[in-house]
Amino acid sequence: MTMTTMMMRMAASSSSSSSLTFARRRLLHCSVQNPLTTSASSLQRRSFSQNKKDNPHNGGFRNGTNNFKGLAYSSAAAAITATGVLLTQASQEHTVDAEIAKLQQSNGGGIELKKIPSRSEQIQSLISTSEFDVLVIGGGATGAGAALDAASRGLSTALIERGDFGNETSSRSTKLIWAGIRYIATAVSSLLRFKNLTRPFDAMKDFKSEFEMVLGAHKERRILLENNPHLTNWVPIAVPVAEWISWPPPFGHPIFATAPLLLPAVFKFYDGMGGFTCPPSHIMGKQRAERKFPQLASEDAHYYSCFYEGQHNDARTATYIALTAAEEGASVANYVEMIDVIKDEKTGKAVGVQAEDKLSGNKFEIRAKAIVFAGGPFTDGLRKIEDPSCKPAVAAAAGTHIVLPGYYCPRGLGMLDINTSDGRFLFFLPWQGKTIVGTTDRKGPAVSTPGPPEEEISWLLKECQKYLGDDLPVRRSDVLSAWQGFRPLASDPHAPPGAPVSRNHIISVNPDTGITFITGGKWTTYREMAEDVIDRVIEANGFEDKAGDCVTDKLRLRGGVGYDRNVPIKLVQLFGCSEDTAEHLARTYGVHAFEVCKMAKATTKTWPRYGNLLIEGYPYLESEIEYACKNEMALTLTDMLTTRTRLAFLDSTAARAAAPKIADLMAASLGWSGSEKKNQLNQALELISEFGGPIPQEQLRSVTNIESLFKAFDLDGSGYIEYDELKQCVDYWGCPFRSEEEARAAFNEMDIFKDNRISLLEFKKWWDSPKNKSRLKLDLSEKYKLSPDKIGKGQGAAFG
Ligand SMILES: Cc1cc2nc3c(=O)[nH]c(=O)nc-3n(C[C@H](O)[C@H](O)[C@H](O)COP(=O)(O)OP(=O)(O)OC[C@H]3O[C@@H](n4cnc5c(N)ncnc54)[C@H](O)[C@@H]3O)c2cc1C
């Protein structure tokens, strides 16, 4: 029997086998019979004990050939490995299908893996539907929520978004699902203002409305967390108390000077407002805080008062709200922009919109009885299309976040400064393995670009330093990414004079066109906002007969039906993926994580056995790209790097490094041509360059000579370029090394004194050397329009 026939037979038999183990047993059995494979078998036996040590989840078998030294057997081992991969993949699918079927039948309905029509089917539906009941413009949290609310009540619904779902404000929040402890404090502070003594009833009314808003936020926080354990989690947040009397007082009122003493009681009251549905607030002593967060400058703190808020991956939640609307029957499309409003010539009422498919350039009409604008901070832009003379309704305010390495926020504990140098709240939160710090507050018109001003990054770094010991400086080079978003602060332009200004969201109808807009509010309250706006639409359009009651308070978002906390463990057991990856997949796709894993390829490693990473250090899998393109309307490389994975938000250097690989995978899934792929790559790299990173934009622009280039590479200002700095800078400057070997060779070439670091003298010598025709020098010169010939001989002469 030839080896090939044997392999084919094995493949045939494995398709009928019901378990992964069975396929492996066959593989081993076969290898013992063939002299060529005896070594492969002994290789596997040899590595068995080693693997058992490496990997507690693994029975000890391996697909890889890592330890295989003998040249004579290498081809046989490779063949075995390849066959093993095929077999385990085939058997894997079988096992997984059986497992998924079992889960689907279990506990009252089991898991639901609903398919969504493709984007082209969605566009076709937008074009061919003669008239929708409701058309929503804007696919952030608010618009996607409105579409979901309308569709789940049985109204025929359409949703269009000009970019990817949630790509604007809804992906740039602090990621908290928070009930608004600050609003309570602000409300108390304004109630107790001296001037309110003359208007006690109005003051009480304002306080009541603020209090009700916070109660509403508590309710929404509970609903979002209870219904969607796959997308949300609780995060503990500690407030350090360093002085018993705080002066100047937080929230600008003397009563809050005693806040340090009152915090534990305030947090208990806050827990109570949420019906004690969150983990209980508590006090943490200095020693415990030091154990949990050793980096803290804790010698000054008397104690820490801890409370809990919800947390999520905001862009992901927005995408899943939009896709859940599609599951409920709405026609939903990203990259479709509203470019005009169609009005009835006689009545002037809006009857639809002119839309443009931003990918194909096709223009088409979408007709609807009711139109809702949900453009967040861009709502006035939409309203101006409808009525160029409209009064503004949104006053946007920018907020910046920086992202630092995870070790600044260890063991899942966040921190909150309730009294920063400018009197704001500043969060220090663990998120996706990193630390988010934010935010600032600066009034100004909303723009789409994510890049924040350098002075805001510096301010945030300065505020962080207060909490860390002097021996742990937070450096500019620690900033992995930085981005800004615009809060949609709203006022109602159609309100009668003297009407109270809402501090929450506003819903307003243009009496001339009948178009409703909704803006303001918070991420946390998106569902309540959606319910309110659709209630209003139903009432205004007489949809009462066809629309049912709102059901979104009971609805689980996509991937949530059948999800339980053991999904990550089941993923590890079934697929042999790493725990980090399993956790990430479960918390991103819910029960659809099984489908993502099913697409994952074998790694040929001991562990993890399945799931090749997009980039080292992050749990994202290659198979997620194919899954998102085929099942979740992912269309551009920029989306994949920003909203689908969060790489650009977490680490702009890593995003840049992963971009070419993701472009290849997307090209394969979406059938991009070579020029399309190049185009996508250029666009994505341009957007990523707007995110902040370890090197300030100013510094990049200020490189004019060899000294300033050296300084830009010397991230920690030590006077030397270390290996990691060289790699990080070269990535960041857009000329990444193609391999570890290339990076090492370049470093060794520069490290003339062989002391594992590069001084300015060595750097100059390397650059000036006539023999130096390296790709790095040429790339840097070309990218920054620097002429290598004009580098003076050790003179630090100007580039280009
Ligand atoms: C710095 C910052 C931190 C925040 N932190 C929190 C927090 O921790 N917790 C919390 O609850 N809230 C937070 N918020 C508030 C929250 O992020 C916003 O309230 C929420 O994301 C607004 O969602 P939205 O859908 O109204 O707006 P957006 O997300 O901006 O959505 C509007 C959408 O309309 C689309 N659009 C515009 N014009 C058109 C057109 N012509 N055609 C089609 N589509 C169009 C845009 O592309 C955009 O995607 C924060 C906000 C900021 C700025």
- The 10s digit of each residue's pLDDT in 643-653 is 999 999 999 98
pLDDT grade, residue 259 (50/70/90)?
A: confident
Ligand 1 pocket test, pick from 363, 487, 515, 642 with the greatest ligand atom count within 8 Å of Cβ, gives: 487
Please tell me the total number of residues recorded for the chain in this structure.
800
Quick check: 314 and 522 in contact, CB under 8 A?
Answer: no
Instruction: Work out the average pLDDT over 298-316.
Output: 89
Quick check: 557 and 231 in contact, CB under 8 A?
Answer: yes
What number of CA atoms fall less than 13 Å from residue 261's CA on the CB side? 7
pLDDT of residue 490: 83
Q: Measured from the CB, is residue 178 less than 6 Å from ligand 1?
A: yes
Residue 170 alpha carbon to ligand 1 centre in Å:
4
Ligand 1 pocket test, pick from 160, 170, 221 with the greatest ligand atom count within 8 Å of Cβ, gives: 170
Q: How much of the chain, in percent, has pLDDT values that exceed 90?
A: 51
Phi, psi of 305 (to 5 degrees): -105, 120
Residue 786 CB neighbour total at 10 angstroms: 20
DSSP summary character for residue 556: P
Residue nearest to atom 37 of ligand 1 (CA): 375
Place of tokens 């990918």: 359
Instruction: Work out the average pLDDT over 522-551.
Output: 96
pLDDT of residue 278: 92
Quick check: 530 and 146 in contact, CB under 8 A?
Answer: yes
Nearest Cα neighbor of 240 from 306, 309, 311 is 306
Q: Measured from the CB, is residue 161 less than 6 Å from ligand 1?
A: yes
Would you call 747 helix, strand, or coil by DSSP? helix
Q: Measured from the CB, is residue 142 less than 6 Å from ligand 1?
A: yes
Q: Which DSSP string corresponds to 273-333? A: HTTT-SPPPEEE-HHHHHHH-TTB-GGG-SEEEEEEEEEE-HHHHHHHHHHHHHHTT-EEE
Indicate whether 661 pLDDT > 70: yes
Q: Measured from the CB, is residue 138 less than 6 Å from ligand 1?
A: yes
Same fold for the pair 119-171+315-393+491-541 and 697-790: no
Q: Measured from the CB, is residue 588 less than 6 Å from ligand 1?
A: no
Compute the distance between CA of residue 796 and CA of residue 776 in angstroms, rounded to an integer: 18
Instruction: Work out the average pLDDT over 716-727.
Output: 87
- How far apart, in Å, are the Cα atoms of 369 and each of 285, 345, 543? 60, 15, 10
Residue 168 alpha carbon to ligand 1 centre in Å:
6
Q: Measured from the CB, is residue 414 less than 6 Å from ligand 1?
A: no
Ligand 1 pocket test, pick from 173, 372, 382, 440 with the greatest ligand atom count within 8 Å of Cβ, gives: 173
What number of CA atoms fall less than 13 Å from residue 751's CA on the CB side? 15
Averaged pLDDT score across all residues of the chain: 82
Instruction: Of 35-44, 337-346, 360-369, give the lowest mean pLDDT range.
Output: 35-44
Residue 772 CB neighbour total at 10 angstroms: 16
Nearest Cα neighbor of 78 from 604, 600, 612 is 604
Q: Measured from the CB, is residue 260 less than 6 Å from ligand 1?
A: no
CA dihedral (650, 656, 661, 667) positive or negative: positive
pLDDT of residue 496: 63
Instruction: Work out the average pLDDT over 460-473.
Output: 83
pLDDT grade, residue 263 (50/70/90)?
A: confident
pLDDT of residue 294: 75
Can you tell me which atom of ligand 1 is nearest the CA of 486?
53
Residue 379 alpha carbon to ligand 1 centre in Å:
10
Instruction: Of 226-235, 664-673, 702-711, 782-791, give the lowest mean pLDDT range.
Output: 782-791
Residue 335 alpha carbon to ligand 1 centre in Å:
16
Quick check: 576 and 58 in contact, CB under 8 A?
Answer: yes
Can you tell me which atom of ligand 1 is nearest the CA of 485?
53
697-790: CATH topology: Recoverin; domain 1 (1.10.238)
Beta-bridged to residue 176, according to DSSP, are 311
Residue nearest to atom 1 of ligand 1 (CA): 399
For residue 117, cis peptide bond before it (omega within 30 degrees of 0): no
Ligand 1 pocket test, pick from 136, 168, 235, 371 with the greatest ligand atom count within 8 Å of Cβ, gives: 168
Indicate whether 318 pLDDT > 90: yes
Indicate whether 271 pLDDT > 50: yes
Ligand 1 pocket test, pick from 378, 502, 532, 639 with the greatest ligand atom count within 8 Å of Cβ, gives: 378
Instruction: Of 103-112, 471-480, 698-707, give the lowest mean pLDDT range.
Output: 103-112
**pLDDT tens track for 140-192:** 999 999 999 999 999 999 999 999 999 999 999 999 999 877 777 777 777 67
Quick check: 550 and 328 in contact, CB under 8 A?
Answer: no
pLDDT of residue 298: 63
Indicate whether 775 pLDDT > 70: yes
> If you compute the radius of gyration of the chain from its CA atoms, what whole number of angstroms results?
29
Which residues 6+ apart lie within 8 Å of 8 measured at CB?
Answer: none
Would you call 394 helix, strand, or coil by DSSP? strand
Q: Measured from the CB, is residue 742 less than 6 Å from ligand 1?
A: no
**pLDDT tens track for 191-217:** 677 677 777 777 787 778 788 888 999
Retrieve residue 256's tokens. Answer: 């809050």
- The burial of 184, by beta-carbon neighbours within 10 Å (0-12 exposed, 13-18 middle, 19 or more buried), is given as buried
Residue nearest to atom 45 of ligand 1 (CA): 138
Residue 54 CB neighbour total at 10 angstroms: 15
Residue 404 CB neighbour total at 10 angstroms: 22
pLDDT grade, residue 94 (50/70/90)?
A: low
pLDDT of residue 502: 53
Q: Measured from the CB, is residue 171 less than 6 Å from ligand 1?
A: no
Q: Measured from the CB, is residue 143 less than 6 Å from ligand 1?
A: yes
Domain boundaries 119-171+315-393+491-541, CATH class: alpha beta
Indicate whether 297 pLDDT > 60: yes
Domain spans in the chain, listed from the N-terminal domain onward: 119-171+315-393+491-541, 178-255+267-282+305-312, 697-790
Residue 92 alpha carbon to ligand 1 centre in Å:
41
Q: Which helix (H) or strand (E) holds 443?
A: strand 442-443
Highest mean pLDDT (candidates 202-211, 431-440, 782-791): 431-440
Indicate whether 586 pLDDT > 80: yes
For residue 400, cis peptide bond before it (omega within 30 degrees of 0): no
pLDDT grade, residue 256 (50/70/90)?
A: confident
Can you tell me which atom of ligand 1 is nearest the CA of 377?
30
pLDDT of residue 293: 78
Residue 236 CB neighbour total at 10 angstroms: 19
Compute the distance between CA of residue 395 and CA of residue 417 in angstroms, rounded to an integer: 26
Indicate whether 409 pLDDT > 50: yes
Highest mean pLDDT (candidates 247-251, 271-275, 516-520): 516-520
Instruction: Of 140-149, 356-365, 474-483, give the lowest mean pLDDT range.
Output: 474-483
Indicate whether 452 pLDDT > 80: yes
Q: What share of the chain is helix, strand, coil (3-state, %, to 5)?
A: 50, 15, 35
Helices assigned H by DSSP within 379-428: 379-386
CA angle centred on 526, ends 525 and 529, rounded to 5°: 85
pLDDT grade, residue 375 (50/70/90)?
A: very high
Nearest Cα neighbor of 153 from 552, 529, 516 is 552
pLDDT grade, residue 335 (50/70/90)?
A: very high
pLDDT of residue 728: 78
- The burial of 498, by beta-carbon neighbours within 10 Å (0-12 exposed, 13-18 middle, 19 or more buried), is given as exposed
